[in-house]
Structure 1
């Protein structure tokens, strides 16, 4: 062994057990806190996103319950008010849109003259997309089929 290594070991051995334990605990805490913080942040984000998606799914169900097909006009009709003023404020970030798969689209007043991209999915799908003003939107969508 080199003389520097021997001198370092001698100095370390002469330290009291309380100092060595304190240093060991500080090193372990210094390593554990960032890892624990990262894990907590990830799990909180996942939990909050899941809860928000469930809230959006409940709103989606309310919107779908108000959709009917007008046989005379040959178009979709949404005849229920949601009772949430955010769907009435232009570009509020809270939007709903109903598309009949062809060219007809019903949309909330808040969406104004914009339309959101639609994907074909038989199951409930949740995703993030850029909104009308470039903001990030969380979208929950589902395909349903109405009897005509």
Structure 2
């Protein structure tokens, strides 16, 4: 009798990352694409729906999901959505942002701030709209880093 042959772990090939934009996200996307050995294709580099459809048709990619118009095509082909908080509340930047929000009293300034914040609520609806799609929630920078290291192991 032969010993069972272990099956290699299947890494995701089409990944949509949901996160607040910024330098941390750009660096994280670069590292994720490198670990998975996939091309990173920022949505900002695509000119419209036709290019998003072409991207979705490829066998491997890492991209973001900040554009609502692009999500349907991407989510139909995605293997995984990663909801990543790279600026957790325990970081210095997170504490500064929270303190500044508390200090602001001007209603117009609060409205402008809400417009600038990234709306990631669409991720919560994926269980209904795309029930078979895997979603990884990484609630802070440490969890995001641990997950990235686990992928490369």
The question of a shared fold, defined as TM-score above 0.5 by the shorter chain, is answered with: no
* TM-score (structure 2 length as normaliser): 0.27
TM-score, normalised with respect to structure 1: 0.27
